[in-house]
């Protein structure tokens, strides 16, 4: 399961491109109401947390393309962290605390290497507040800003971070 998740994370941009274009075409060609898209985003939020923005959303795809040509990586982190303006992001970000799937830490196997924190844009923005492994850090995966990129889970060399029910 962990290997499947790592493969998915490594292909995330391809998945976002395919699903973002497919959703855009479906909305345009079949005149699908945005209420249905909102309902789908919220349902996914209940199960997986805020996955819509970075795995499915056409606007998310456009923003990632624009920001990929930005020379300033800090600006990219700020966008991810402060993403506002979309009701799906608001609601599913709120649902990160209550979703069925969550990012869990196994403290027994964790070697405190800190690689997970280095990958997380939330920790990068507020390192004194958030951490995926430090006992006193607030877990970024439960915060509104976590868009479930799952880079933290994929990068852990000991599989100490998992994303599961």
- Using CB under 6 A, list all residues that contact ligand SF4: 103, 105, 110-116, 119-122, 132-133, 140-141, 146-152, 156, 158, 160-161
Q: Is the Cβ of residue 37 or residue 123 nearer to ligand SF4 in the bound state?
A: 123
Q: Are the beta carbons of 64 and 15 closer than 8 angstroms? A: no
Q: Are the beta carbons of 34 and 42 closer than 8 angstroms? A: no
Q: Is the Cβ of residue 95 or residue 105 nearer to ligand SF4 in the bound state?
A: 105
Q: Is the Cβ of residue 23 or residue 120 nearer to ligand SF4 in the bound state?
A: 120
Structure tokens at 13: 């941009």
Question: Rounded to the nearest whole angstrom, what is the least distance from the CB of residue 25 to ligand SF4 in the complex?
Answer: 28
Question: Rounded to the nearest whole angstrom, what is the least distance from the CB of residue 133 to ligand SF4 in the complex?
Answer: 4
Structure tokens at 49: 């947390």
What dihedral angle (degrees, nearest 10) is formed by the CA atoms of 8, 46, 122, 137?
-110
């Amino acid at each position: 399961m962990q290997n499947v998740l790592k493969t998915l994370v490594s292909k995330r941009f391809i998945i976002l491109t395919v699903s973002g274009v497919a959703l855009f075409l479906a909305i345009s060609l079949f005149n699908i109401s945005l209420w249905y898209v909102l309902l789908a985003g919220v349902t996914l939020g209940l199960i997986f947390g805020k996955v819509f923005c970075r795995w499915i959303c056409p606007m998310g795809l456009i923003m990632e393309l624009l920001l990929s040509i930005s020379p300033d990586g800090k600006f990219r982190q700020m966008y991810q962290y402060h993403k506002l303006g979309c009701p799906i992001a608001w609601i599913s970000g709120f649902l990160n605390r209550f979703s069925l799937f969550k990012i869990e830490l196994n403290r027994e196997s964790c070697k405190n290497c800190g690689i997970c924190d280095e990958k997380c844009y939330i920790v990068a923005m507020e390192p004194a507040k958030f951490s995926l492994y430090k006992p006193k850090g607030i877990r970024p995966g439960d915060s509104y800003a976590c868009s479930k990129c799952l880079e933290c889970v994929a990068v852990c060399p000991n599989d100490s971070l998992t994303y599961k029910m």
